[in-house]
Structures are given as C-alpha cells and as structure tokens.
C-alpha cells in the first residue's frame, strides 16, 4: 500500500499563471481533502471531495477549484496565481474521520 501520493513535489509558477496539483488517495479511501499550509502555520482547509462532488469548502476564493475522478484520485486547480498562493499544498484521504496526509506539493509563485 503506497499511502497517499501527490505530484509534483515542487512547482514554480509566475503570477497570473494556472496550476494543477494531483493526489492519489490511500487504497480503500473514498474521500479526499485539500489543505494549504503556509510557512509556520497549520493546514487550512480548502475543500473536500466525496463521490466526485465537492462536499465541503473552506474560505478560499473561486480561483481554487477541484475535481475527483471515479478512481477517487483528485486534482486541485488554482487560477490567476498570486504571490500569496505560495505554500505547501497537502492532500489528505480518509474513509471515515481519520485523515492521512500526502507528502505535499511545494508551490512557489514568483
């Protein structure tokens, strides 16, 4: 069991660009949540996907969107990147309440 995986590991973009991050959940998990973790802070909830639908959403603008595929993998898309979007983006998968995190994607916006 590979656990939760994410790609890419690191990404550098410029302001105004768009980015897509990917997540494969732990085997048997059907729910995927995305978090943004700025340096020195706790993870901030972006949204959660279940049965290919966005089930819950945190306080993030519409520039942040996502998708879940039939195999439960998920993508996070961010449009019109801002400098403030630079952060570690974490994906977490779960079957019930317990979430397991992926290694994250470090996004740098220049």
Partner 1 sequence: GENVEQHPSTLSVQEGDSAVIKCTYSDSASNYFPWYKQELGKRPQLIIDIRSNVGEKKDQRIAVTLNKTAKHFSLHITETQPEDSAVYFCAAPYNAGKSTFGDGTTLTVKP
**Residues found near partner 1 in the complex (CB under 8 A):** 31, 33, 35, 40-45, 48, 50, 55-56, 58-59, 90, 97-104
Tokens read off for 48: 């959660």
- Closer residue to partner 1, CB minimum distance, 37 or 65: 37
The number of C-alpha atoms within 13 Å of 49 and in the hemisphere containing its C-beta is 25
Gap between the Cα atoms of 20 and 8, Å rounded: 9
Tokens for 31, please give them: 């729910």
Q: Which is nearer to partner 1, 20 or 50 (CB)?
A: 50
Q: How far is the CB of 110 from partner 1 (least distance, A)?
A: 21
User: From the CB of 100, what's the least distance to partner 1, in Å?
Assistant: 7
CB of 77 to partner 1, least distance (A): 20
| Beta carbon nearer to partner 1, 18 or 41 | 41
Buried/exposed code over 44-72 (b: 16+ C-beta within 10 A; e: otherwise) = eebbbbeeeeeeeeeebeeebbbebeeeb
Min dist CB 89 to partner 1, Å, is 11
């Amino acid at each position: 069991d590979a656990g939760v995986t994410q790609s890419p590991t690191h990404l550098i973009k410029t302001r105004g660009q768009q980015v897509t991050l990917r997540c494969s959940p732990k085997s048997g998990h059907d729910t995927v949540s995305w978090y943004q973790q700025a340096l020195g802070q706790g993870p901030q909830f972006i949204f959660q996907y279940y049965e290919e639908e966005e089930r819950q959403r945190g306080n993030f603008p519409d520039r942040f969107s996502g998708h879940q595929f039939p195999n439960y993998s998920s993508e996070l898309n961010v449009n019109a990147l801002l400098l403030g979007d630079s952060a570690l983006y974490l994906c977490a998968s779960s079957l019930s309440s317990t979430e397991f995190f992926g290694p994250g994607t470090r996004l740098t916006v220049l």
